[in-house]
Amino acid sequence: MAARWATDIFSSTRTYGLRPDNTLPLGATPFTVHGNKDVTDGFLWNENATQGSALLVHGWAANSSSMHSLVPPLRNLGLRVAAFDGPAHGVRTGNQATMTQYTQATGAVLDTLGDVRVVVAHSLGSIAAIAAIAEHTGHQPECAVLIAPPAALADVLERWDGAGLRLTPPLVEGIYRELHRRNGVPVSHWDLTTRAAALDIPTLVLHDPHDPMVPYTDARTVTAGLKNAHLTDTDGGHMGILMSRTTTTHLTHFTTQHLTTPHTPTPNNPHPHPHQHTHPHPHPHPHPHHEGTT
């Protein structure tokens, strides 16, 4: 019982506050996500762009609005930009989710869009994004940008402060077992470099050396473990890094450099629907308590 309770806390997706209002982000168009019960819709900017799509994947206990500052630079490159609230995140129902659910939802969005050329992911969203790309059998992105990525879920759990719980060794072992049961795979499965072993796409890793949540050593581990990755320092901490001008500059330069070939759009376009979901505040400034996930 103690392990289940502790795992519930570790798996919480509402660390940053209450569920946001269901309002469409400024300038966005809704689209339907096919094939996933946890994530049924998302948002598009520059809907009619013909140069392919950029997919934004937010971090744990955040939501798609945390990525809104990255929409303009990608849109200015002529890309259609897509974002979504992960399972039990943002406007979704529920308060807990698993990495398996997040990975499957990200894969469904990749399938729905059909023409994703670049994936930009933050924090633990990086593991879900890389795992989804690795499992994806359709069109592969041409490049990826990972912002403040943890190297592995096990590292996140080892760093977790327990949110006031006394994490004895038996309790930690119980959390590992419970996470295994909920995900269908052991915690060790969610290792970013292991998930990316079969991938060879240009990847930019952006990290603030003074990030208080995910240590800089994780960025080094991720960069060393990927086949074609480059680490660049930026600023802003763990969440402010998303609004940093330095981050935007590096993102724009890298994406421009790796999307130089002409692109023929695919017919597999998402179908907009009338339901409006997301948040009225495009630039939240959350103060995380932990980087937990499952």
pLDDT digits (tens, 9 = 90+) for 45-64: 999 998 999 999 999 999 99
Mean pLDDT over 200-228 rounds to 97
Do 72 and 66 form a contact (C-beta atoms < 8 A)? no
Confidence of residue 138 (pLDDT cuts 50, 70, 90): confident
pLDDT recorded at residue 21 = 67
Query: pLDDT > 90: what percent of the chain?
Result: 79
How far apart CA 101 and CA 222 sit, in angstroms, is: 22
Element (H, E) at 55: strand 53-57
Q: Which pLDDT tens digit goes with each residue over 15-50?
A: 766 666 667 788 899 999 999 999 999 999 999 998
State pLDDT tens for residues 99-118: 999 999 999 999 999 999 99
Which pLDDT does position 17 carry in this prediction?
Answer: 62
CB 57 within 8 A of CB 106: yes
Q: Are 95 and 88 in contact (CB under 8 A)?
A: yes
Q: Please report the sign of the dihedral spanned by the C-alpha atoms of residue 22, residue 41, residue 55, residue 238.
A: positive
